Each structure stands twice: as structure tokens, then as C-alpha cells.
Structure 1
Amino acid sequence: MKSVKANEILPEELLIELQKYVQGEMLYIPKSKNNYQKWGTLSGGRKAIDERNATLKHEFKKGRSISQLADEYFLSTETIKKIVYSKN
């Protein structure tokens, strides 16, 4: 996360208003909802996990056991259960 100085980027009136609430502290300002992207969207990590989960569900439906899948994918049996029994 990049740090910027408020007095360098904000209008003076806004800075004065913010100082009523916080002074000399770090303040996190989240992205607006329309600029927010889920984890892994840009890197492709989310897509890779979604594809892996689809493969796990398919293999489980074909008869592979939860413990076999856990060993092959290096995941806990509880994680495999959450994936294969999820509705989405």
C-alpha cells in the first residue's frame, strides 16, 4: 500500500475537516466499490483456483476419495470437503 501525505494531495478545506477527526495518524481510505476487484483477478490466481476447484469436484463425482484428492493437491481433507460439497 502506497503512503501519501494528505497535505500534498487534498484541498485545504478537506484537510481541515479531516483534522477534526484524526491528526498525526495513518488513515486508510478504501477503494470505492466500483474500483474494487476481488483477490487474484488481475494476477489470474482466482481463475487458477476456480479451475482447480472445478477439477476437484469433477474427480470427486467420478469416485476419487477426499483423502486421495487431499494427498494429490496438498490440501487438508477439510478444505477438500468444503470445495466438493459447496453449491457453486
Structure 2
Amino acid sequence: MKYINAQNILPEELIQHIQEYIHGDYIYIPRKIGEQKKWGENSGAKYELTIRNREIYQKYMEGSTVTALSEQYYLSEQSIRRIVHEEKSKTKQKRS
């Protein structure tokens, strides 16, 4: 999401109408229904976290401790436990 000056893209009469409701503040205009993108879709962040979480689970299954994984990935031990639990649940669902 980026900042765009309304004067560069909107007609003057529309700007004046909007100014009846908001004066000089930022306003968020959501995408049209059906055109929304999921979190991390553009940046690839969701994919990268999925890969990282699978690696964490694999290392845990190979014997790495929660403490060691939290230090290696700079996450809290609680976050590591949550990731392990979520990945374990996904694995069980795939088997069913």
C-alpha cells in the first residue's frame, strides 16, 4: 500500500465532496470486492514464513530443542512451540 495524492488522480469535484467528511487526514480506500489480495501475496512473505516454519518443524522432529530453535531463528520459545503444534496438525490432516 502506498500513499497517492488525491489531487493527482481524482476529479476536483470528488475531492471537494470527500473534504466534506475528512479534512487533510489520511484515508484508506479498500480494493473492490473480489480484487483483494491475501496477506503476503505481493511480497512473498507468506511463502517465506511457510518455508521457515516447515524447516523449524523438520529440525524439531530431527531432535533440535525448542530452546535451540528459538535462538537459531530469533523467536520466543512460545512461538517455536506454536509453530511445531501448527505444523504437526497440518501433517496429521494430510494423513487423514
Pair 8,37 (structure 1): closer, same or farther in 2 beyond 3 Å = closer
Aligned residues: 87
Conservation of the 8 A alpha-carbon contact between 1:7 and 1:15: no
Q: Distance in 2 between matches of 1:24 and 1:55?
A: 47
Q: Distance in 1 between matches of 2:77 and 2:20?
A: 51
SS at match of 1:34: coil
When the two chains are superposed, the root-mean-square deviation of aligned CA atoms in Å is 2.6
Runs of 5+ in structure 2 lacking a partner? 91-96
Q: Distance in 2 between matches of 1:33 and 1:58?
A: 38
Per the normalisation by structure 2, the TM-score is: 0.65
Q: Distance in 2 between matches of 1:23 and 1:47?
A: 39
Cross-structure match for 2:3: 2
Per the normalisation by structure 1, the TM-score is: 0.69
Pair 72,4 (structure 1): closer, same or farther in 2 beyond 3 Å = same
Cross-structure match for 1:53: 53
Render the CA deviation track for 1:2-21: whole Å, top value 9, x for unaligned.
23226951484x55654553
Runs of 5+ in structure 1 lacking a partner? none
Identity %: 28
